Structure 1
Amino acid sequence: MSDPTTQLSSRPNRRWLWIALAVAILAAVVVLLVETDDTANVTVKDAPAPAPTVTFLEVAPADTTATISAFAELRPRWDAEIRSAVAGRITVVHDTALAGERVAAGTPLFAIERTQYETAVAAAELSLEEAKLSLWRAQNAVLLARREFERTGTEPPNDLALRLPELHIAERTVASAEAQLEAAQRQLADTVVMAPFSGFITVRMVSLGQTVSAGEALVHLSDDRQYEMTVELGQAEWALLDHPVAGQRVVLKRRDGAPIGEARIRQGGGFLDPQTRQRRLFLDVINPTETILAGDFVQVAIEGRTIADTLTIPESALTRAGHVWIVDVEDMLMRLAPDILFRSGDKLTISAPEGSGPYRIAITPLASFLPGQRVTPQPAED
């Protein structure tokens, strides 16, 4: 049996042995790390970041003629539902009355049964002849009465003695009979429905054999010779126009910018639109061609007055926040809140800032731009 005193004395010796072994292992790891450490020297330089490159366009202040652009709908001057002026059964539907047909003014479209209207004309002619006979008799009676008073050498006491009231009634009866005959003839003529103006038949509402009443719609006719437009302008755009505007010519363009014709300003500016509170210009298209179609939206380019000290810059130079960045003579950025006068295509014209110019306008501004930031300017390629 071992001595307990001997076991107690051996435990501290083992603890110190493990501690010495751990210290030796740690020292070996440290030596290994030191030997394998990358001893390459890294030199840290406190150099500033290079200034960003900014592409600019040099623009000098100049006098510019304002161009006001707006979109408007081409509308036919005459656009109406052609309605029947008389009642009756449709006996003829001409091919020109079919939807999609292009007709000239005066082209027959429908024929309505005319028997009752021919009868009315005959009755009106008879009434006119009877009225003329009554007038002849009244004239003859007046003539005989005048001669009788002349033979006796006396003065007629009044118009009644000369039969003048009967003459006046007979004259009015003839006038009434003539008007009734003219009305009957007009109704007879209205049994043939003709196009009142040239244009396209867009819709046909009735068919052969159908009985229509007076005022019933027959076809819808849209003018193909005369077009008009209405352009709405704000107060700022209105101020850019060269007044008076009536009689001025404007250029019409497609939405892609291709010119398609001209229009003349007929009138405008006399009142504000009650919904938009804008001024209106009324235009008539000059000599429309086949390329102009009713219902199309076209761009109207109106030449306005000449404005001094302006800059015309690319639209890309305007940021979303509505600013323009200028590179000054010290190659530092300067922010400008421009007064935009008008836009024309991909260009916009602004009032020139105070100074002599020319100005270097950043054409591709970045969201990271800051006022006073130094940049490396680079001129834009032509």
Structure 2
Amino acid sequence: MKNLKDGLKSYLVAAGILVGAVVLASILVSLSPEPERRELPPRIPFVQSAQVAPGAGAIPVYGAGTVRPSAEIDITSQVSGRVDWMNPSFHSGGRIKAGDTIFRIEREDYQYRLREAMADLEDRKVALLEARELAAVARTEYEQYSGRQRESGSTVTQASPLVLREPQLKAAQAALKREEAKVAEARLALARTSVKASFDGYVREKSVDIGQFLTVGQVVGRLFAADAVEVVLPLSDSNTALIPGLWELQAGDAKRRVNARVIARYADAHYAWDGYVDRAEVSLDKQTRTIDVIVRVPEPFSAGTPVDSQEHTSQPPPLLVGKFVEVEIEGLTPESYFRIPRLALQPGNEVWVIRDGQRVGIVPVQVLQRGDNEIFVTGALEEGQAVVTGGIQFATEGMRVRSRDAVEQ
């Protein structure tokens, strides 16, 4: 009986503690401050945007290519012999002017041949004089003979050419011309012992030294022109359509020029040279299916003009052959077009404009040119109009958005 009372007493104590804890917790909860209520943010997406800029002037046509010489030739000898002199500038990278002697072959053998040919010519001149005198004597004798025949009443027979020595005279004349040709040939061979530059240029390769024996036609180096270089630009047909009068250009006609600017990077700086579109190939590249447009740059080895305004410690470089460069051609000038950021152009050539400060409008555009950071288009756009450049992956007509540019408008 006593154990039963003790168990009941323990149960009542535990129940009391539990009830007290519940009451205390209720009091604490009722006395705590209510949490601050915040409204949920609106579910209208926030987008990045930029403004439409009006286009002005010519639309640039961009391309890239490698600088190559406008003319390049093999340096060869037209006569054989031992090299006895070379131009000090005849080394790779050396500058040689038009008409300067590049190297010279020993002249003695060719001088002897010229003297021998001139001596033979003098002999033929004497032989021709003798032939003329003999022909004149033969004609005189024939005329005297025919005169006596007529006086005697006999028939005068026509003299044959051999009697009058006409073939012998023609043979002497032909022999003289032959010797004159040999003298001219000997003089030409002597002149060719001095190999001269056909144009102002730079030496690309050199493979000959003094004392080396050369044969006719042996290549001993290469020389490329210094007055101009070319850059071949593979362009699509849509880009070539923006070059004014491209198919009317004639190679070498700088008067009908389409201006271009060639930009090359050296170290940490960019330099530019002025050029022009010289011509275009009339066939497509078999692999890329592009059209090769050739830009010509006069005086390429003068110092380039820095593109940026920062000061550079290094001396401005020339436009080196083999350098990969970027080219900007002055294209057509439409009456009206717009410039938009590259990110503003959506798939399907669409632009998402922001109207009334908060709703999206989908505007189809025609792309005229794509630049590195901007695109030139035509379409139902307005100057200063906000266009979506990021923040959403898709849009529908009339969709509500928020943007800083739209709010500022």
Please state which band the TM-score falls in when normalised by the shorter chain.
0.7 to 0.9
Shift of 1:235: 0.9
| Contact residue 156 and residue 162 of structure 1 kept, 8 A | no
- 1:56 is matched with 50
Tell me, yes or no, if structure 1 residue 170 matches structure 2 residue 195. no
Q: Pick from 25, 35, 38: which aligns with 2:27?
A: 35
- 2:328 is matched with 301
Deviations 1:272-306, CA, capped at 9 Å, x for gaps: 23333222334443455612534244444333333
- 1:262 is matched with 275
- 1:202 is matched with 204
- 1:134 is matched with 127
- 2:312 is matched with none
Query: Residue 319 and residue 39 in structure 1: after superposition, are their counterparts in 2 closer, same or farther (change >3 A)?
Result: same
- 1:191 is matched with 193
Query: Residue 380 and residue 123 in structure 1: after superposition, are their counterparts in 2 closer, same or farther (change >3 A)?
Result: farther
Q: Pick from 359, 366, 369: which aligns with 1:342?
A: 369
Q: Pick from 84, 96, 104: which aligns with 2:97?
A: 104
Query: Residue 156 and residue 35 in structure 1: after superposition, are their counterparts in 2 closer, same or farther (change >3 A)?
Result: farther
- 1:251 is matched with 260
Query: What one-letter code is carried by the residue in structure 1 that aligns with 2:280?
Result: G
| Contact residue 96 and residue 108 of structure 1 kept, 8 A | no
Q: Which runs of 5+ in 2 are unaligned?
A: 147-155, 250-255, 304-317
**TM-score, length basis structure 2:** 0.74
| Contact residue 253 and residue 259 of structure 1 kept, 8 A | yes
Deviations 1:121-168, CA, capped at 9 Å, x for gaps: 222223323333333333334333333443334464554443333333
The 5-angstrom pairing of residues 70-81 of structure 1 reads 70-81=63-74
| Distance in structure 1 (CA, Å) of the matches to 2:210 and 2:26 | 110
| Distance in structure 2 (CA, Å) of the matches to 1:231 and 1:148 | 82
Shift of 1:370: 3.4
Deviations 1:201-246, CA, capped at 9 Å, x for gaps: 3333122222222222333323222333433321111222222541
| Distance in structure 2 (CA, Å) of the matches to 1:170 and 1:346 | 83
| Contact residue 59 and residue 361 of structure 1 kept, 8 A | no
Query: Residue 147 and residue 207 in structure 1: after superposition, are their counterparts in 2 closer, same or farther (change >3 A)?
Result: same
Shift of 1:350: 0.8
Query: Residue 174 and residue 49 in structure 1: after superposition, are their counterparts in 2 closer, same or farther (change >3 A)?
Result: same
- 2:313 is matched with none
Query: Residue 24 and residue 261 in structure 1: after superposition, are their counterparts in 2 closer, same or farther (change >3 A)?
Result: same
- 2:150 is matched with none
- 2:88 is matched with 95
SS at 2:286 equivalent: coil
| Distance in structure 2 (CA, Å) of the matches to 1:275 and 1:159 | 72
Which moves more between the two structures, 284-293 or 206-215?
284-293
Shift of 1:345: 6.5
- 1:117 is matched with 110
| Contact residue 90 and residue 211 of structure 1 kept, 8 A | yes
SS at 2:208 equivalent: coil
| Distance in structure 2 (CA, Å) of the matches to 1:336 and 1:23 | 76
- 2:288 is matched with 276
Query: What one-letter code is carried by the residue in structure 1 that aligns with 2:319?
Result: L
| Distance in structure 1 (CA, Å) of the matches to 2:387 and 2:16 | 68
Identity of aligned residues (%): 23
SS at 1:240 equivalent: coil
- 1:152 is matched with 145
Across the aligned residues of Structure 1 and Structure 2, the Cα RMSD in angstroms comes to: 3.7
Deviations 1:235-265, CA, capped at 9 Å, x for gaps: 11122222254122313242477653233x4
Query: What one-letter code is carried by the residue in structure 1 that aligns with 2:263?
Result: R
SS at 1:187 equivalent: helix
| Distance in structure 2 (CA, Å) of the matches to 1:361 and 1:35 | 58
Shift of 1:16: 6.5
Shift of 1:117: 1.8
| Contact residue 99 and residue 204 of structure 1 kept, 8 A | yes
Deviations 1:90-139, CA, capped at 9 Å, x for gaps: 22233222343322122223232222222222222233233333333333
| Contact residue 54 and residue 376 of structure 1 kept, 8 A | yes
- 1:3 is matched with none
How many residues matched? 369
Query: Residue 59 and residue 97 in structure 1: after superposition, are their counterparts in 2 closer, same or farther (change >3 A)?
Result: closer
Shift of 1:186: 2.0
| Contact residue 325 and residue 365 of structure 1 kept, 8 A | no
| Contact residue 128 and residue 174 of structure 1 kept, 8 A | yes
Query: What one-letter code is carried by the residue in structure 2 that aligns with 1:275?
Result: Q
